[in-house]
Structures are given as structure tokens and as C-alpha cells.
Amino acid sequence: MLGKKWKPNYFTVEEVPAESISPMMEDIVMDGGDRAEQKKKQKKKSQQLSTKGITSQDLKELHLVANSLLVLADVVESLIGAAYLHGGSPLGYECIKFFGLGLKWEPVPVRVDQVLSRVGAELDHYPSQLGDVERMLGYTFQRKILLIEALTHASYEQDSHTPSYERMEFLGDSVLDMIVTDFLYHAPGKNYSPGHMHLRKSALVNGHILAYICLKMSLGVDAFMPRPNAEGRIEENVETNQIYLWKCLLHSSPKIFEDQLNTFTRFRKRRAEIEESLTTGTIFPWASLTRLQAPKFFSDMVESIIGAIFLDSQGNIPLVRQILYNLGIMPILERVVSEDVDVLHPVSRLSLWAQKNDKTLEYTYIREKGRISCAIMVDEKEEVRVTDLWRGKVSQEEVRFAAAEQAIHAFKLRDVNVNYSLLKKKAPKPKKKKKKKENK
């Protein structure tokens, strides 16, 4: 089962999860550079279509207007941020309301009440796992129906009245993003630049790390089992069973069940190395987290639960922040900040190193006998090679990440003097030959 293609295919079409790396490296990480080449062609074609009949002077004026609009947008955003810093959420809200932005703005408590007024009526009976989830989170819901929605996948057929978690997941993602950004902005003694904050937020707000949190979250429940003792008499023995958060998902899909078991098998194999990296390592474990191959519904569960707690607590951000501590998200973030953990994606770091040192960098792949190898070539000389089992195209991504991490250790690339202020912009790819080896 582990050898099967892991990409989920359920009753509803879900978005492909975004790569958990800096946007500047989006094209580099995509398989074989196909997406990068396609985007180049589309951009070139759109430029040709959009510039027909336009003079160079017109283009210059359009460029000036576009830059002016970007500056104005930045000013509006910075004013909203200043209002939030000065007077918290209430003043930030008033500032947003002043600008309007084409929306009807109402205070958070009013909006939350409006949402809750549309929530279905409470049920007479609740699934047994609700109490287990509440104990894991350290939070008791006033409106249990919100927790049911947060745990309901679109494939669930037993209760047609409860919507799936998709809207709740969207809300939870925004709340998580806000709390993490607020923490990074106020990190004691750091005064991070926007690029630094972006890198650290990307490491803690992505599908890979949230799926790991979901797979790890569990509750030990004692069960009393009758067992015969040495004398043949029946005695009660205590056995502790682990109830995992991911098992509490409400769904009706055999494919999801298969994905849950396969992913948890990979999690048990990788758990120790991931935990060691997160608790004592100096480099964020991008490659190990990617090797979990966790389908999107694992991270969706965490985000939807965060959204449900935000609504149930009437928009209480400090309370939601405490839940993030209980989930283990905030402790990881605090260590990343306090111990200056290297969170730059390994593929990004290696590419930046190659650009800085004017070296050609090439990833070559070889498939044979059910295995795939990735070799990193620097100036046409092999420096690192990683081999793993072939489990579809995702395996090629895994070995590339692992090879990049090994190269970082081998070359001692802890600091490549990255200009973090430019990380949100797309960096040019290093020159490399288009040779690619693949033996089937």
C-alpha cells in the first residue's frame, strides 16, 4: 500500500496544496522545471498580446502608474498595521472601516454573532470522539456543532445537514496566520525584516508541519481489561490506548481511510528524526516533513479546528493562541525564533549559494530496480547522491530535498548572506545544462 500513489482523489475536488517554501523558489521546486517553462511561455505570450499597438512611451507610463498603485497599497496596509499596533484590534478595525475597501465592515463580535446565527441547532446526540478531541485541545466547546463541522469531510454521508470543514478551514488559516505574524513582529530583540518574518511564517504555516501536528496529536485513555493472574483468578489490568486526532475525522471514503493508514505508517518511521530536528536541530526539517506525503485533509483538520475555536470563543485571539500552545505550534515557533533555527528551504539555500559563487548547479535523477537517486552536480562534478524507494513523482521531490539538505551540511552553508528583503521576489535560476538522466 505504501507504494501506491498518495495524491488524494475524493468525492470533491480539492486544491493541490501549495509548496511549503518561499515563493521565490516555486519554479525551482516544481518537478523538472516544467511549470517554470510553462509560466515563461505564458508570460511571454501575454506580453506579446498586451503590447500590440502600444508605444514604448505608453508602456513607461503604465509602468509608472502600476508602481504608484503598489506604493499606495503599501501605504494603506502600513497604516492599518500602525493602527493595530497602537490600539489593538478595535483601532485596526476602525482604520480598515475608514478605507472601506469595497466591503461592509462590522466589529468582530457582531460578525461572529452573525455567523453563529446561521449555525445549525445543537444535536441530541454527539459522536463519541468529540470529548476526546476536546481533551486533546484543552478546550470545551459551548457549541458542539461547530466542532462537528470542523471534523466533517466533504465525503461524509451520515449527516447531510452538517456542512464540511472547508469554510472553517479557510477561517482557521487566516487566524493562524495573524497570530504567527503578530508573534514574529513582536519577537523580543529581533526586529525582523519583512523577508525574515516571511521565511519563519512560511515554515510554521504550511501543510507539511500542520499535518505533522495532526498526526502527532493524541490522547492516552486508560481501559480496564479483565485478565487471569498467576493463580488463575480474574483481575482488572489497566491498558492505555492512544486516540489520535486524525482518527476523529468524519468521512465516508475508503480512499481516505487508506491514506490515513499509509501516512501514519510513514509518520511512525519519520517521527523520531522530525522531533529531534524540531527540538534540538539547527536546520528546519523540510525534507523529513515532505517525506510524510500527508494528504491535505490532515492539515485541514488543524486549521478548521482553529477556526471553530475562534468562532466558539467569540473571536478570542488570546484563547486561540493558548490552543496553539496546546497543539504544539507555538513552542516550535518560539524555538525557531529564540535559537535562530535555519528555516530557509534547502533547495532555495543551495540555489542562492550557487548564484553567489557563480557555480552551475544541476539535479540529475536515475531510476532503476524500484529505486530513485538524485545526484547534485556542481560544475559538472557530483558532490552528493541520495537514493530512496520509488513511489511516484513525489519520490523525486523527496530525494531532491534530502540531497539538498546533505549538500548544505557538506558545504557548511549555514549562512549564504541572503538578502532577505528580496525573498518575496522571484530570483533568477542559476545557469545549468538541460541534461537529465533517467533509466526506467
- For residues 356-375, give the mean pLDDT: 87
- pLDDT confidence of residue 394: 66
Average pLDDT value for residue range 150-167: 84
Using one digit for the tens of pLDDT, what is the confidence trace for 243-277? Answer: 999 999 999 999 999 999 999 999 999 999 999 99
pLDDT of residue 160: 63
Which phi-psi region, left, alpha or beta, contains residue 65 (left: φ > 0; alpha: ψ -120 to 50)?
Answer: alpha
Per-residue pLDDT band at 161 (split at 50, 70, 90):
confident
Least confident of 78-92, 104-118, 132-146: 104-118
**Does residue 8 surpass a pLDDT of 50?**
no
Residue 402 banded pLDDT, cuts 50, 70, 90: confident
Question: Closest Cα partner for 186 from 372, 334, 405?
Answer: 334
Residue 214, C-alpha cell as written in the block: 495532526
Query: Considering only CA atoms, which of 130, 115, 154, 41 is closest in space to residue 312?
Result: 115
Contacts 24+ apart (CB under 8 A), 315-321: 315/108, 315/109, 315/111, 315/112, 317/89, 317/175, 317/178, 317/179, 319/139, 320/175, 320/179, 321/179
Q: How confident is the model at residue 150 (pLDDT cuts 50, 70, 90)?
A: very high
Q: What's residue 51's pLDDT?
A: 52
Tell me the pLDDT tens digit for each residue of 180-205. 999 999 998 898 998 889 999 999 99
Full 3-state SS string of the chain: CCCCCCCCCCCCCCCCCCCCCCHHHHHHHCHHHHHHHHHHHHHHHHHHHHCCCCCHHHHHHHHHHHHHHHHHHHHHHHHHHHHHHHHHHHHHHHHHHHHCCCCCCCCHHHHHHHHHHCCCCCCCCCCCHHHHHHHHHCCCCCCHHHHHHHCECCCCCCCCCCCCCHHHHHHHHHHHHHHHHHHHHCCCCCCCCHHHHHHHHHHHCCHHHHHHHHHHCEEEEEEEEEEECCCCCEEEEEEEEEEEHHHHCECCCHHHHHHHHHHHHHHHHHHHHHHHHHHHCCECCHHHHHCCCCCHHHHHHHHHHHHHHHHHCCCCHHHHHHHHHHHCHHHHHHHHHHCCCECCCHHHHHHHHHHHCCCCEEEEEEEECCEEEEEEEECCEEEEEEEEECCCHHHHHHHHHHHHHHHHHHHCCCCCCCCHHHCCCCCCCCCCCCCCCCCC
Q: Give the N- to C-terminal CA distance of the chain in Å, as an integer.
A: 21
pLDDT at position 117 is 78
- pLDDT over 80 at 34, yes or no: no
Res 75 pLDDT > 90:
no
- pLDDT band for position 423 (cuts 50, 70, 90): very low
Q: Residue type for 419, please? A: N
pLDDT band at residue 45 under the 50/70/90 scheme: low
Give the least confident one: 27-31, 69-73, 80-84: 27-31
80: pLDDT strictly greater than 80: yes
CATH placement of domain 346-422: 3.30.160.20
Contact, 312 vs 142, CB < 8 A? yes
Among 24-28, 156-160, 419-423, which stretch is predicted with the lowest mean pLDDT? 24-28
Rounded to whole angstroms, how far apart are CA atoms 153 and 246? Answer: 12
Mean of the per-residue pLDDT values for the chain?
79
pLDDT of 39 over the 80 cut: no
Confidence of residue 146 (pLDDT cuts 50, 70, 90): very high
Q: Please state, in angstroms and rounded to a whole number, the distance separating the CA atoms of residues 29 and 18.
A: 11
Lowest mean pLDDT segment, chosen from 283-287, 381-385, 398-402, 432-436:
432-436
Share above pLDDT 90 across residues of the chain, in percent, rounded to a whole number: 35
The per-residue pLDDT for 321 is 96
Highest mean pLDDT among 114-128, 297-311, 350-364: 297-311
Instruction: Express each pLDDT in 208-257 by its tens digit.
Output: 999 999 999 999 877 666 777 777 777 777 677 889 999 999 999 999 99
Q: C-alpha angle with apex 91: 85 to 93, nearest 5 degrees? A: 110
pTM over 0.75: no
Q: Are strands 371-378 and 381-389 parallel, antiparallel or unpaired?
A: antiparallel
The fold of the 119-343 domain, in CATH, is Ribonuclease iii, N-terminal Endonuclease Domain; Chain A (1.10.1520)
Domain range summary for the chain, segments of one domain joined by +: 60-105, 119-343, 346-422
Tell me the per-residue pLDDT of 86-128, one tens digit each, with 9 for 90 and over.
888 888 888 888 888 778 888 878 888 888 877 777 777 778 8
Find the range with the poorest average confidence among 287-291, 397-401, 416-420.
416-420
